[in-house]
Amino acid sequence: MSEEFNEPIFTELKYSNRGKRSNLIKADKTEFTGKIKLSCEEDDEDGIKLILRKDEHDNIKEIKFVCSCGQTKTLTLDYTE
């Protein structure tokens, strides 16, 4: 029962597919960059969803605002100095 309240943790991969326009991602072009947690909050009055992307230490890395009309805006946070 305690697992129901945990945020889902996903493995984050970065890949480079420069020069080719293909939907195929090859294993040698991918790089493991860490784990992320995703959470979603919704405002019922304005129809705006907030998607928070956190790292494994619960630091917010990205905030995405999704409007009910389909437009999105993303705010990326960088904690390095």
Report the side by side order of strands in the sheet with 9-15: 9-15, 30-43, 48-55, 60-66, 72-76
pLDDT value of residue 70: 85
Ramachandran assignment for 79, one of left (phi > 0), alpha (psi -120 to 50 degrees), beta (any other): alpha
The CB-side HSE value for 70 (13 A sphere, CA atoms) comes to 0
pLDDT of residue 40: 83
> What is d(CA 13, CA 66) in angstroms, rounded to the nearest whole number?
23
Whole-model pTM? 0.61
Q: Looking at beta carbons, which pairs linking 59-62 to residues 24 or more positions away fall under 8 Å?
A: 61/36
In tens, the pLDDT along 11-56 reads 877 777 666 677 777 778 788 888 888 888 887 777 888 988 888 7
